[in-house]
Structure 1
């Protein structure tokens, strides 16, 4: 399929242009500040900021077909759960529909200014977690789809998610638009600020979520602020010890993961046709490969723990059906647990539109993108590769299952609270993009006016309309038997 971009190029030649731009971005020190400003202004002439409001769905669009294609590489028995979760609301559908939106974004005007994309930068893929210094920090926290591409794709994915969530919460149109404008304004002004900083200053920049919430306290209702403070405090208890209490029990003096099919299924039950000893021999070999991807001090720390048990776990919305495992490890005394999560990494949904990853291991692609975009990452973040019991080799990335994880309760806030959150997300996304892209060229492209902000706000409402039509299409597909859904789980 050939689609047009803002510069009159097809989607696949545009992907090659992004690669060339990446090489230029890697030699920013050889370009003068004026040259980098010129790059941004040249891009603005080719693709005006106002053009980002445009979205015209093609007549051959088949979002349900794209979702069903994804099912081919997933665990068949879990796919109906994915569809069921997407049917909960138009917003949960949006969360799972990264691939249809990637296909749509490839038809929109393209700036040609490349960054490391999250690839799925909707508002629920931002959140708080523990830094290595044991402080609660806020950042992008999902990188399954990360890949280099045009910066505005992440901005549009975030903006449209705010519009969709605003509709779900019953916000009036003017309030939804204000929320989106807050996010894009924060992105644009943050990028202009980063353009004036040294690269090291940008690299060290991070947002402390507790401090940020405090700064905006006067703009939140007292009830909403107290609820948020309570949830932030609760986040400090979400760690491996809490997971141990929730997910395990003691049987005959041994700690065992509780079987709760299909949500949590011990590996012995998943691979019932194999001897347990053979299963765990393979798991230990896979963990050995994973350990070698960690830096030496963290590898030493992990070597103090031994494998106890593993289980398959259903996670997320869009990720349901990809293989995700939890691995219980302990230091040997039975009271010092570490829960790791190994999640299958498949090719990014952006790959058909931005080009294949430079990494042959998709888990390494995810980890490399996460390190590039996040200010601070999980100390056990690594990757591995394993032969599957079905004869198919699979890539995984590994991290801690829970470490002070906190997600903003979007369904419980008034528009003023959502506007606060939108600003935080916009700043955070700009910081992530400034680490990998040419922040000076990006700032020059975005400019000092709100032209880009207004265009993205227009796009967000237009795409929220499209999302509702696509959500209805999945509902119809389930009703007529084209897609199968389980809504009870």
Structure 2
């Protein structure tokens, strides 16, 4: 493999060339190629991040994202981001991608999550109705360097620890364990057959108990509580919360700006034309499903649609929820149709090979997620401005359980970080060259030590960026609800 395919930090962000790894076939050759990279990119080199203060230019990256979003929701986006440094970090995947492109990169490709922070992992149902834990946000997924995902995850553990007031020792220990779990899990997968790797998944109850015993940590009430809560989160509960019965038809309750029933939307001159476009969206979504999944969908009958605000960093992108009923009114289905735009990584790794961003998101999710929602699909329709708009579609609640990061303690943060690292290593082993990455990481803790240092420094950078962001909001230069 030629060194010409490897890049060092650069100010002008050339597109990374990751194609040479496809040439390597023999397991020993792939492992040795990974080991050889340590000479050009020592493991310790990943520790380096020098904090730059008052970076008004990177705040401009957030403003650039706003251009194609619903302008009425931008103040709400910045309000949600402005709560604390962690909520700010959740909304700044574009800033970190810009920064990571300047760091040492081996160019070993995987299906990058693109926004693999600790809050983007959670609980959901598998097709067999078992609760699993895995990555659950794929808006930014595309082919990219493995390092960028583990760096974003490690930094998020550090920032989450700061947010709940943990001591430096506890935070660093949580980051260290997270990265160690990633390295060791990736090595385990590198020694397995590919189909064995593909079928492996994280059964929540079984694996959490195993991990807690392995780490000799106290069971986390927060994590186990999230499991119990996830059991009841399905379309029926979503319908109970978000809709009401109007005669014999489900209608969405309006709660602006978070949820607005389609008939009450402002800024649309012709609601009937909007309904027609959404019908086009649904029709193209149906075509993206396997035939057996289309059969399931065809048993349900349309009821109503509303616009919903979701997330933090994605606020302002368009998101719709539609209600359907199956056998009767007590058999509801709530689908979420979320706008898909270009990945924040595309500027640095190139565009994906998919025809639409919705397909990029869903195909990427299926590639790395062990047990995906059976109704995952994508869609496209032509908006009122004449331009195509991409979406992906999934069930709104499918046993969905998120972890309340504000209630964690030292042990539960460490446990959760390790869970996320296991899932991230699994995603990279399914989609990339685990032998090459494992060869590069080796069998010492040098990478863990480097990443603990990087996470601490980049968390300082995030705090400085947040303070500037907060001052721009207070001065009125940035809008805030």
1:97-136 equivalence runs, <5 A: 97-136=92-131
- Kindly state the Cα deviation for residue 412 of structure 1 after the two structures are TM-superposed: 1.1
Please, which of 397, 413, 417 is the counterpart of residue 418 of structure 1? 413
Alignment of 1:71 onto 2:66 = yes
Please, which of 302, 310, 322 is the counterpart of residue 307 of structure 1? 302
In the aligned structure 1, how far is the partner of 2:431 from the partner of 2:8?
26
Distance 1:435 1:11, change over 3 A: farther
1:158-195, Cα deviation, whole Å (9 max, x unpaired): 00000001011111111111100101000001111111
1:384-424, Cα deviation, whole Å (9 max, x unpaired): 00112343321000000001111122221210111111111
Name the SS of the counterpart of 1:321 in structure 2: coil
Alignment of 1:450 onto 2:457 = no
1:41-61, Cα deviation, whole Å (9 max, x unpaired): 122221111100112356876
- Whether contact under 8 Å (2:263, 2:271) holds in the other structure is yes
1:63-100, Cα deviation, whole Å (9 max, x unpaired): 21111111111100101111001111110000001000
- Kindly state the Cα deviation for residue 369 of structure 1 after the two structures are TM-superposed: 0.8
Query: Match of 1:298?
Result: 293
Please, which of 139, 144, 148 is the counterpart of residue 144 of structure 1? 139
After TM superposition, the structure 1 stretch with the greater mean CA deviation from structure 2, 242-251 or 276-285, is 276-285
Please, which of 36, 41, 44 is the counterpart of residue 42 of structure 1? 36
1:246-266, Cα deviation, whole Å (9 max, x unpaired): 001122443210011111011
- Kindly state the Cα deviation for residue 313 of structure 1 after the two structures are TM-superposed: 0.2
- Whether contact under 8 Å (2:359, 2:378) holds in the other structure is yes
Query: Match of 2:163?
Result: 168
In the aligned structure 1, how far is the partner of 2:88 from the partner of 2:348?
22
Alignment of 1:158 onto 2:157 = no
Alignment of 1:327 onto 2:322 = yes
TM-score of the superposed pair, with normalisation by structure 1: 0.93
Please, which of 156, 174, 181 is the counterpart of residue 186 of structure 1? 181
1:444-470, Cα deviation, whole Å (9 max, x unpaired): 000000111111111000000000001
Query: Match of 1:56?
Result: 50
Name the SS of the counterpart of 2:296 in structure 1: helix
1:257-311, Cα deviation, whole Å (9 max, x unpaired): 0011111011222267555554433322221110111111001110111221111
In the aligned structure 2, how far is the partner of 1:21 from the partner of 1:377?
30
Alignment of 1:21 onto 2:16 = no
Distance 1:74 1:273, change over 3 A: closer
Alignment of 1:342 onto 2:337 = yes
In the aligned structure 1, how far is the partner of 2:436 from the partner of 2:304?
50
Query: Match of 1:230?
Result: 225
Query: Match of 2:427?
Result: 432
- Kindly state the Cα deviation for residue 115 of structure 1 after the two structures are TM-superposed: 0.8
- Whether contact under 8 Å (1:116, 1:146) holds in the other structure is yes
Distance 1:258 1:188, change over 3 A: same
Name the SS of the counterpart of 1:92 in structure 2: helix
- Whether contact under 8 Å (1:44, 1:111) holds in the other structure is no
Consecutive unaligned residues in structure 2, runs of 5 or more: none
- Kindly state the Cα deviation for residue 335 of structure 1 after the two structures are TM-superposed: 2.2
- Whether contact under 8 Å (1:346, 1:362) holds in the other structure is yes
- Kindly state the Cα deviation for residue 10 of structure 1 after the two structures are TM-superposed: 4.3
- Whether contact under 8 Å (1:7, 1:46) holds in the other structure is no
1:240-279 equivalence runs, <5 A: 240-270=235-265, 273=268, 276-279=271-274
- Kindly state the Cα deviation for residue 334 of structure 1 after the two structures are TM-superposed: 2.1
Number of matched residues? Answer: 474
Name the SS of the counterpart of 1:464 in structure 2: helix
In the aligned structure 2, how far is the partner of 1:64 from the partner of 1:189?
36
Consecutive unaligned residues in structure 1, runs of 5 or more: none
Query: Match of 1:391?
Result: 386
- Kindly state the Cα deviation for residue 430 of structure 1 after the two structures are TM-superposed: 0.4
